[in-house]
Structure 1
């Protein structure tokens, strides 16, 4: 069946064939470069629209697209192995049932991953170590649901020689993170606070981080335009940190989301609005389309 392609998808098809994954070193430099106005693309759970989420194949395909960062989630098995898994149970994404911590690593390897429609595949749950070996020298990794395993994750990063490839984050205040993991703050493992701009303590939390620790970036979530615009978020670029926005769902970006940009074909009111409000990192479920849009605007190599 013939389809009329939207301008965004047409741009994608014209440019994506020319894209080549770049080595990780310039990505790391860009992350730590306050002067760079280029926008970094973060693939949410990898290329999950074409592969099982949090799988090695979804990481590989995101790398092939040319993204800068792949977001993943961590859980721990009964025998202490860190694995890639988002949910509290394995029901939605695998052929098994129950909690990951109720299984050994060997037992989990008897299961297979599901695709985005819940259909079976022959792919297996990867370990965090496998993830980092796949990413090494090729892409950065954002550890989302993984703060509870901060020290264990750091040990894997050291083992794989990828400490500078990773960003770890949480909703916790600076004081909480300092008390729990202070020895690891300020090193090569980048830390990023997540701030809900609709919360009463948002401005105070930003100020505390600015005073005590210049994070590599801040992830800012906002359900209304005013929650962001009327806050003190404009101070963040002045301290050298990047601003990360999520274009995943409307409740995280006041509707300036992937749906607005792609399905509704209004990228200037979606991704463009985020960029106009100082985004230098955007996490998306549409990485190929976002890359094409940014390249058209000369905001991504």
Structure 2
């Protein structure tokens, strides 16, 4: 059985220090890091303050969050562009004020009409950053269109070094964002079905943008994006490799579910290929596997 690919002191959940996490992150050949998808939503509503805290307790190195913007410019956490699935309200977030959103209550777990309401409200990005400051890293999803506003909140909270932006954008667009920043943002390039041609430009992207990581999404393990040749090219440019195991269609079937049945076809399959960042919906299971 493949273990974490670089020897490191074994840790217990919630014992990781931010210093160790950042040290691992900046080592492109370092240990396998665990990212928790939308917070630990099996314990509390996804993207809630509680789900983020449960992720820290579960031993997360990084927590993926989804950021949306209200009509009055407040950055909040919600995966969908509407509040319908996750709250007792309806409507588009970009047509609602923060005050209107704050009056709603989150539904448990991943929401839906059959899930009970909780006492949790929709958190702001700033509240989340204050919670995770000096604890873990975060991965910023859904917010590329208002990245400058997100960056300002990171500066204000002193969490620039803990936050990883990502997008499928062109190198030129990313360069423009990264240029002349007071503190340099962290960046991960996504290659998925929307931009598969980017596998031909990895060397150029690395020279122009200098991303810290690449996120690879693939429906079939025969996809060129997840080939050994492409992954070796990413590693030769001193970047980490991130894959997602939440559901089959973005990891060629090598998911959290199969990991619980046959880990050699799940998380271990990714690690054998050289992946060293895994985003999961099963933080307890992945943590236990990585620290066996």
Q: Tell me the TM-score normalized by structure 1.
A: 0.87
Residues 99-125 of structure 1: CA deviation (Å, up to 9, x unaligned): 112221112111100012532101000
Partner of residue 119, structure 1? 116
Partner of residue 235, structure 1? 233
Shift of 1:57: 0.2
Partner of residue 14, structure 2? 20
**C-alpha distance in 1 between matches for 2:144 and 2:290:** 30
Shift of 1:173: 1.9
1:190 aligns with 2:186: yes
Shift of 1:213: 2.4
Q: What is the DSSP-based 3-state SS (H/G/I as helix, E as strand, rest coil) of the residue aligned with 2:263?
A: coil
Alignment CA distance shift 1:19-1:61 (3 Å): same
**C-alpha distance in 1 between matches for 2:94 and 2:193:** 33
Partner of residue 266, structure 1? 262
Q: What is the DSSP-based 3-state SS (H/G/I as helix, E as strand, rest coil) of the residue aligned with 1:268?
A: helix
Q: Which consecutive residues of structure 1, in runs of 5 or more, have no partner in the other structure?
A: 1-15, 297-301
Partner of residue 57, structure 1? 50
Partner of residue 77, structure 1? 70
**C-alpha distance in 2 between matches for 1:293 and 1:142:** 22
Partner of residue 32, structure 1? 26
1:107 aligns with 2:105: no
**C-alpha distance in 1 between matches for 2:42 and 2:129:** 21
**C-alpha distance in 2 between matches for 1:42 and 1:239:** 22
Aligned residues: 277
Partner of residue 136, structure 1? 133
Structure 1 window deviating more from structure 2 (197-206 vs 104-113): it is 197-206
1:293 aligns with 2:289: yes
Q: What is the DSSP-based 3-state SS (H/G/I as helix, E as strand, rest coil) of the residue aligned with 1:168?
A: strand
Alignment CA distance shift 1:184-1:275 (3 Å): farther
Q: Which consecutive residues of structure 2, in runs of 5 or more, have no partner in the other structure?
A: 1-9
- Partners of 2:13 and 2:56 within 8 A in 1: no
**C-alpha distance in 2 between matches for 1:178 and 1:240:** 18
Structure 1 window deviating more from structure 2 (170-179 vs 86-95): it is 170-179
Shift of 1:219: 0.2
**C-alpha distance in 1 between matches for 2:182 and 2:93:** 31
Shift of 1:23: 2.0
Residues 209-266 of structure 1: CA deviation (Å, up to 9, x unaligned): 123122110000111112122652311111111000101111111111111112xx11
**C-alpha distance in 1 between matches for 2:180 and 2:244:** 26
**C-alpha distance in 1 between matches for 2:209 and 2:97:** 38
Residues 58-100 of structure 1: CA deviation (Å, up to 9, x unaligned): 0000001111000000111121100001101000001110011
**C-alpha distance in 2 between matches for 1:229 and 1:52:** 36
1:203 aligns with 2:199: yes
**C-alpha distance in 2 between matches for 1:184 and 1:219:** 25
Alignment CA distance shift 1:81-1:197 (3 Å): closer
- Partners of 1:197 and 1:220 within 8 A in 2: no
- Partners of 2:88 and 2:107 within 8 A in 1: yes
**C-alpha distance in 2 between matches for 1:226 and 1:186:** 42
